[in-house]
Homo-oligomer: A and B are copies of this chain.
Amino acid sequence: MLTFWYDFTSTYSYLAALRIEDEAARCGVDVLWRPLILGPIFAEAGFKTSPNIIDPAKARYMWRDLARRAEGRGLPFKMPPDFPMRSINAARAALAVSDTERPGLSRAIFERGFGEGRDINDPAVLAEAVAAAGHDPALIKERIGTAEVKEALRSAVSEARGQGVFGAPAFICADGELFWGDDRLADALEWAASRAAA
C-alpha cells in the first residue's frame, strides 16, 4: 500500500497522477489517493506562495521542465491562466466521493487543469470534470459545502503534515517512509513493494 498525497494545483502532482496507477500495478502495489491543499503547509513554513515560483528563474525552469517531461510521456500540458490556482473546492470534490471513485475524478480534474490549462476553481470547469467522471455535479456541489467534507480536508492536511509532508506529490509507504516528487515515484514503489514482500 502506498499513500499518494496530491494537490490539484501542484504541477508535479499532475505528472504523477496521470501515471501512478499503471506504475503501481506493474509493481503490484495498491495506491490510496489522498488530496490535500498545500497552502496552509507553505504558510506554516513562511512561504507566501508556492516555493517553486518565488525565484522567477526557478519558475521559468519549472514550466520548461514540465513541458519537456509531459512531452516525453505523450501528455498534454498547458499552463493555467494563474498559478497557483485555488484548489480547495477541487480537493473537497475529490473527498466527496469514495476511495475507489477518487482516482477517476482526480484525473478528470487534473486533465482540465494542467492538461487543458483551465481554472479548476471555476465551478463550471469543476462540474464538467465531475460529470466526466460519472458523478452528478449538483450532488457533489452540495457535498462540497458540508461540514463533514470541509473537516475531512482539514484533517487530511493535518495528517499529511504529521507524516512529514511539505510538498506534493508525496508518497508514504506502509512503514512511514516518505518520498517526494514525481521523480521519486519509482523509488517509492520499489520501497513499498520490497517491504510488502519481506
- A130 to B54 alpha-carbon distance, docked (Å): 37
Minimal Cβ-Cβ distance residue in B for A55: B45
Instruction: Report A63 CB to chain B, min CB distance, Å.
Output: 12
Interface size on A, residues (CB 8 A): 25
Q: What is the bound-complex CA distance between A184 and B183, given in angstroms? A: 9
Contact of A47 among B54, B161, B167, B183 (CB under 8 A): B54
Using A57-B161, A61-B164, A61-B178 as known contacts, list a sample of 17 further A-B pairs with CB atoms less than 8 Å apart, ordered by residue number in A: A44-B55, A45-B54, A45-B55, A45-B57, A46-B54, A46-B55, A47-B54, A55-B166, A57-B164, A57-B165, A57-B166, A58-B167, A61-B180, A64-B178, A65-B179, A65-B180, A68-B187
